[in-house]
Each structure stands twice: as C-alpha cells, then as structure tokens.
Amino acid sequence: MSDYAPQGFRMLPTVVKNLIIINVIFFLATLVLERQGFYNITNMLALNPALSGRFHVWQLVTYMFMHANVGHIFFNMFALWMFGYVLENYWGARRFLFYYLVCGVGAGLVNLLVPGWDFTVGASGAVYGILLAFGMMFPNERIYLYFLMPIKAKWFVIGYALIELFEGVFSTGNVAHFAHLGGMLFGLLLILYWRKHPFSRF
C-alpha cells in the first residue's frame, strides 16, 4: 500500500469526525457522572502508573478519550481536525485510524516509564503523532504560528519536539511531555516501517 490513498477530499472526514464525537461524549459523561457524584470514571479510564494498583491494560486506549477541562479538549480536538483531516484524506480512513491509535498507545507506554505522576488523560500523544506525520508528509507546507507567522511544517514539528524535550527534562508541571514525545516516536517508527514495506497491511 502506498502512502497516498485518495478517497475524495473532505474537510471533516469520517474518522476525524467520529474521534471528535467520541472525545466529546467521554468528556460530557465525565462531567455528568463525577459532578453528580455517581461514579469516578476518571479512576477507571485514565492512564494510571503501572505499579499504582489502579492500572488496567485498557487504560492505554481509554485515556486518549479523557480530558481534564474544556481548554484541554478544545485544543486537542482543534489540532486533531487541523492536521488530521489532511492526513485522513491523504492516507485513507483505515490507515489514519490505525496510525492515530498506535501513536496514542505508544505515548501511553512511554509515559508508563516516567516516574512521579498520578494519572494521565488526553489525546495529546496521538495528536503529536499526527503533527509529526503532517511534517513528514508535507514538510514544506506553511503553518501559520499563532495565525500570523508562517513557518514550514518540518521546522514547526522539529521546534515542537525540542520544546517538549526541554520541558520534559526541566519542567516540574503536570503536563505529560514525554507522552507527547512518545506519540511522535511511535509515529515516526510506523511511518518509516510503511516506507520500507509499502505493501504492508494491518
């Protein structure tokens, strides 16, 4: 299978649309269940440390659909749409979905190796994988930083990766920077594999 699998260009293709819908449903369900005191869904679906006693293998998938607040889900879903719709049109739905899930799970696996955190939620690892893919597929495409400053996608991606590495090493905040890098790493490995085995199936 080649990289390019045209299926007609759409601004909101099927996988991106459904991923956004599922994330919004999970977010609203979390608000309703937890604010009303019915059930702490975060404990069950967020990614917990491997030795915490709260870790379950399904959390490597479900944590991608959980978000901490409105700003968190808005920016993740905006980035998913902004870069994802181009990639889904370019790759096709099946390959795009497979890539997204691999990046998200890979980000979670990398995060499990990092000490000192309580739990992790968010699609950011998968989204950073999508950002990496966009930079590799369209390296000279211009992205407008803060909607004002044009920068080529390849430099945009490299810059973000370096920022995440710096923040991961030196920051003391609660952002899972190494999960972001993990999503990019697994995305890179998968794209390189596809390029070496262009007729692979999954």
Q: Return the DSSP state at 64.
A: G
Q: Is the pLDDT of residue 134 over 80?
A: yes
CA 89 to chain centre: 18
The pLDDT, as a whole number, for residue 60 is 97
98 half-sphere exposure, CB direction, 13 A CA radius: 11
Q: Which helix (H) or strand (E) element contains residue 180?
A: helix 177-196
| Mean pLDDT calculated for residue range 22-40 | 88
Higher per-residue confidence, 198 vs 113: 113
The tokens describing 128, both together, are 């950073």
Write down all domains in the chain, each with its CATH number in brackets.
Answer: 14-196 (1.20.1540.10)
| Mean pLDDT calculated for residue range 160-172 | 87
The pLDDT, as a whole number, for residue 8 is 61
Q: Please say whether the beta carbons of 64 and 126 come within 8 A.
A: yes
For β-strands 149-152 and 142-145, DSSP reports them as antiparallel
In tens, the pLDDT along 68-108 reads 999 999 999 999 999 999 999 999 999 999 999 999 999 99
- The share of the chain scoring above pLDDT 90, in percent, equals 71
In tens, the pLDDT along 167-187 reads 888 877 778 999 999 999 999
Q: Please say whether the beta carbons of 187 and 102 come within 8 A.
A: yes
**Residue positions annotated with a catalytic role:** 124, 180
pLDDT band at 113 (very low <50, low <70, confident <90, very high): very high
